[in-house]
């Protein structure tokens, strides 16, 4: 969904334990040139909320699959328990896939080179 920052996790492991203990996060998104002569970044402070809505979750997964097909390594599929021969749409069928979104943003900080 446009304007919402989604993340995905498997339904096990350290990240899930940390999310259950404390959902507050600081997320930094950055882009820079190799010599740092040009840069831009934004820091968002908020909390991660598990996506449980029956309409929103499939849309979030669809967005992940679309972005994955365009620009992400297929190694992510293997890291999520899929075989090397499976394609990106298989990720949406994975039962252990958890979608979360950044919500309740309390602080935004942005910087860029001039």
Confidence of residue 1 (pLDDT cuts 50, 70, 90): low
- Phi, psi of 20, deg, nearest 5: -65, -35
Model confidence band, residue 114 (pLDDT cutoffs 50, 70, 90): confident
Residue 58 CB contacts under 8 Å (≥ 6 apart), including other chains: 92
What is the average per-residue pLDDT within 33-50?
94
| 3 or 14, higher pLDDT | 14
How high is the pLDDT of residue 71? 87
pLDDT in the model for residue 108: 95
94 or 49: which leads in pLDDT: 49
pLDDT at 27 over 90: yes
**Residue 88 backbone dihedrals phi, psi, to 5 degrees:** -55, -40
Q: Output the DSSP codes for 46-57.
A: EEEEE---TTHH
Mean residue pLDDT across the chain: 89
């Amino acid at each position: 969904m446009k304007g919402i920052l989604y993340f995905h996790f498997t339904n096990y492991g350290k990240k899930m334990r940390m999310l259950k203990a404390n959902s507050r996060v600081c997320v930094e998104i950055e882009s820079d040139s190799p010599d740092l002569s040009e840069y831009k970044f934004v820091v968002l402070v908020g909390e991660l909320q598990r996506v449980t809505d029956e309409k929103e979750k499939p849309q979030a997964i669809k967005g992940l699959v679309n972005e994955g097909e365009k620009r992400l390594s297929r190694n992510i599929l293997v890291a999520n328990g899929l075989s090397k021969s499976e394609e990106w749409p298989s990720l949406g069928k994975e039962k252990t896939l958890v979608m979360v979104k950044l919500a309740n943003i309390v602080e935004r900080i942005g910087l860029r080179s001039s």
